[in-house]
Each structure stands twice: as C-alpha cells, then as structure tokens.
Amino acid sequence: MTSSVPTLFASDAKRILVIKHGAFGDVIQAEGALRDIRENHPHAFIAVLTMPAYRAILARCPHVDETIVDERAPRWRIGRMLALRAKLRSLDFDMVYDLQNSKRTAFYFKWMLNDRRWSGTAKGCSHPHRAEDPKKIRTLDRLAGQLEDAGLTIRHTRKPDVSWLAGDASGMLAKAGVTTPYIVLVPGCSARHPQKRWPHYAELAAHLIAAGETVVTAPGPDEVELARAIPGTCIEKTNWSALAGILKSARFVIGNDTGPSHLAAHMDVAGLALFGSHMPAERTGILTENFGAIEVDDLAALPVPRVFDEVERRLAAHSNSV
C-alpha cells in the first residue's frame, strides 16, 4: 500500500541537485522533467549530476545552471566516495530530485546527503515516489508521477523536446554531398543489448535508394564499420549537437531502440523504431504523434518488405498532412 498523504512542495529550495546518470535515451527523456523542475523553481540554482558521456548534452540544456560529472567509481573505492561526498556537500544543495533512482543513488542518499530533502525511491527520503512498482511504469509517466508526488505542477515531463540540442549541421551535410530531403538510418545500439539490433539495414537502404530516397547514417565511434557497410552516405565524427542537427533536418528516421532514435522522436521528427520482445515500445516513451514503432517477437526475423512498406505508408501520410 502507498500513502495518499501529499508531500509538501519544496518551494523555498534555492540550490537544487538533479541526478540523471544515463543512459543516452533516458537523459533525452528527462528533458521535460528538467523543464518542469525549472518552471517550478524559477529562481533556484539547478545542477545536474551525470556521467562523463552526457556532460556535453546537459551543458547545453537551457534549464540547467551547472553540470557535475560523476565517474561512478566503485563504491568500495572509499577515497573516491569521500571526495564525491565532500564535493556535493560543499555545494550546499537543499533539494535533490533523483531521476535515476538506482541502487547507487540510494547509496548516495544514505551516505552523502541524508540530511537534505530528496525526491525519489530511496528508503527514508523526504519526498518519496509513491508508486508501488515504478520500474514497471512507462518512463515518462514514471518521471511525471515522481515529480507530482514531490508537489510539482507538471506541464512538460510527458512531452520532452530536445530541439535545443540540434546544432547547424548544414556544413557537415554539404561536405558529405547530402541534400534534403534525406532519410537517416540508426543501425546500431548498445553493445550490451545485441537483441535490440535489427540486422537488415543494408537491404532496407538498398530498397530506399532504389525508390529514389537519399540515405544517411551518422554512427558513433563504435558503429562506424557497421554504418560503412550500409548503402548511402556515412557521416562520421559527429558530436551530440551535430548528430541532433542531422536528425532534426531529416525527412524520416528509422532505427533500433537506441539513444539516437529517442533523440529524433523527442525533436518531433517523423520516424519508425524497430522493437523485438525486449520491452514494449509504449513503455520506453519513444512513441509520439510522428514517431511510431513496429514490434515483433523476433527482431532478426522482421522482413525488410514489411519495414519498407510501413516507411512508405508513413511518408505518404506525413506528406498529406503537411
């Protein structure tokens, strides 16, 4: 059972810490929560604690004043833990919104900041998220529920918009010989989740090119060889801002359940995500008015014609609606 007693909103908070370590797609989806935290605390200083890989993204976020890097050292490294504790306590935060809600951040609450107001799932915190099983809740609804439990007014959490991350990619596209309109393929995914990777992007690219489409990939450093094997133009050595710019200007994006696909979805780009049985697309928060999904039990068995036909259908529907 969860308590229905409302939690008092920390309206007097002047120095706020938000914790969002990762991963990439989760950082993107937290944008609306960050915007709501800023709107509810318009005059507060707001810092975000994140992993090194996402510092550059959150440093561009207009809702944040400072980004603090957490190397996430092993907790048995007592010296590293004490150094982090000293740093966080020296910044004198009077409210923490833990959007990561992991075993690590519960440890941070217990051993580093247990005398500060804290929103999250850590046992004993002042502003608990009251859902019985938060991990089973759709990502955006889970974030919204946590902030509502902390007394915030929610307007943006369920509709993140990271368009502010998109830089001007016109020079990079021109150098690669790419003109609009073009379609971006996102064939990679985390090496830890190979089951999320659809193996037929090269064949799909060939079908799209035969239909008159321009195909672009913009791989991360670990996916360059994969992207080079796909027909079309491979734009390498992008940063987060350039990748966002390339995606933002695309006619359509097709990708796996991976960070760049979520990035495109939350910049209101039209697109399609390909999902196996690892998780329902609806729970990930990737589905928007313009970004859909194909969900199958066996992603490797998903035939190229089915994906191609769905892309063509969505392109036609999008063109008719413009």
Our measurement of the distance from residue 145's CA atom to the centroid of its chain's CA atoms, rounded to an integer in Å, reads 18
Q: Are residues 317 and 168 in the same domain?
A: yes
Q: Does the global pTM surpass 0.75?
A: yes
Contact 263, 243 (CB under 8 A): yes
Q: Are residues 138 and 180 in the same domain?
A: no
- The whole-angstrom separation of Cα 273 and Cα 282 is 11
Q: Are residues 131 and 71 in the same domain?
A: yes
SS3 152: coil
Of 160, 185, 219, the position where a domain reaches its end is: 160
Q: Are residues 190 and 289 in the same domain?
A: yes
pLDDT beyond 60 at 244 = yes
Mean pLDDT of 98-115: 98
Q: Are residues 174 and 299 in the same domain?
A: yes
- The whole-angstrom separation of Cα 102 and Cα 128 is 14
Q: Are residues 147 and 174 in the same domain?
A: no
Of 160, 177, 199, the position where a domain reaches its end is: 160
pLDDT beyond 50 at 289 = yes
Q: Are residues 46 and 112 in the same domain?
A: yes
Summarised one tens digit per residue, pLDDT across range 14-38 is: 999 999 999 999 999 999 999 999 9
Question: Picking from 46-55, 147-156, 197-206, 313-322, which range would have the lowest pLDDT averaged per residue?
Answer: 313-322
Residue whose tokens read 């987060």: 240
Q: Are residues 68 and 135 in the same domain?
A: yes
Of 160, 195, 224, the position where a domain reaches its end is: 160
Domain count, the chain: 2
Residue ranges making up the domain that contains 236: 164-321
Domain CATH for 213: 3.40.50.2000
Q: Are residues 114 and 31 in the same domain?
A: yes
Contact 307, 320 (CB under 8 A): no
* 56 is a domain residue: yes
* 5 is a domain residue: no
pLDDT of residue 3: 45
pLDDT beyond 70 at 1 = no
SS3 170: helix
* 86 is a domain residue: yes
Summarised one tens digit per residue, pLDDT across range 254-284 is: 999 999 999 999 999 999 999 999 889 999 9
* 226 is a domain residue: yes
Q: Are residues 148 and 169 in the same domain?
A: no
* 221 is a domain residue: yes
Q: Are residues 192 and 117 in the same domain?
A: no
